[in-house]
Amino acid sequence: MSIALKQVFNKDKTFRPKRRFEPGTQRFELHKRAQASLNSGVDLKAAVQLPNGEDLNDWVAVHVVDFFNRINLIYGTICEFCTERTCPMMSGGPKYEYRWQDDLKYKKPTALPAPQYMNLLMDWIEVQINNEDIFPTSVGVPFPKNFLQICKKILCRLFRVFVHVYIHHFDRIIIMGAEAHVNTCYKHFYYFVTELNVIDRKELEPLKEMTTRMCH
């Protein structure tokens, strides 16, 4: 990795603090295994497949947290160029507009500038993954019955970050020399969500042409 790229992806650029897995837990071991597969250069399609004998919820939890951390980092590299002036709407080109809705302030889907949307999104995900009732860290504590549904919503919203970055800010990623890193993160994410069918196919439409070139 070049010095310039190391500067791009240094820890100071991380958009949010990382959620880590406690050593000694099953999830920490799964996290290590997933990271080892990626670092060994194994085929990304193979790396995302649920290992034999492992729990699906654990596997999804590990990847949701990892993708949250990685996508935070990617957005953190371009967030100074993503302003209310440059991006007055959270969108993916002229055809796709993303509106924010939560159970707190925004009861109805609301059009927002991209940086405000991103902040709300990352806050919302951070609350989910740090909630012990949703992402339990203690051994033997079960996941909630709606865990996969929650993760599907998280992954769907994280995909929108990729859409916005690729369509509106990829020139900055190229200038930083980080396109190979971002493309690898995207391919890893794409293979995971399609392998486990945890994202609605219509959500993938904005990057369909690029994905076809990159992943098929």
Query: Residues annotated as binding site for Zn(2+)?
Result: 82, 87, 164, 169
Distance from the Cα of residue 148 to its chain's centroid? 15
What's the rounded Cα separation, in Å, for the pair 161 and 91? 9
- Alpha-carbon Rg for the chain in angstroms: 17
CB 159 within 8 A of CB 204: yes
57: its two tokens: 């919820």
Task: Pick out the residues of the known binding site.
Answer: 82, 87, 164, 169
The DSSP secondary structure of 11-23, one letter per residue, reads: GGG-SSPPP-PPT
Q: Where are the alpha helices (DSSP H) in 79-142?
A: 114-129
